[in-house]
Amino acid sequence: MTATAIEHKDKLGHILAVDDYVAYPSFNELQFGRVAKLNKIMVGVVPIGRRNVTKNTNKYPADIIRLDSAEMTWYVLRNSK
């Protein structure tokens, strides 16, 4: 039996991959994170930034929007200590 590759699409229809930067809702706020793992049904996300409310979290692909890497590079540089 061969394993099939897991493929998830975000709310806009972009294909998600490990290490993509994403935006997702968390505790009535918008959080930024990085895709850590593609599970069978959900996507494992690790939050980035100084104000991490949660640790690793699983989100449905329909609740995630993939972000451009260049935008996130500036966000990380501005918000890191």
User: What pLDDT is recorded for position 75?
Assistant: 74
Q: What does the pLDDT look like over 20-63, one tens digit per residue? A: 999 999 888 888 899 999 999 999 999 887 665 567 899 999 99
Q: Where are the domains of the chain?
A: 8-78
Tokens matching residue 74: 């500036």
> Is pLDDT at 70 greater than 80 in this prediction?
no
The CATH architecture assigned to 8-78 reads: Roll (2.30)
Q: Is 12 helix (H, G, I), strand (E, B) or coil?
A: coil
Do 40 and 47 form a contact (C-beta atoms < 8 A)?
A: no
As a whole number of Å, the end-to-end CA separation of the chain is 48
pTM above 0.75, yes or no: yes
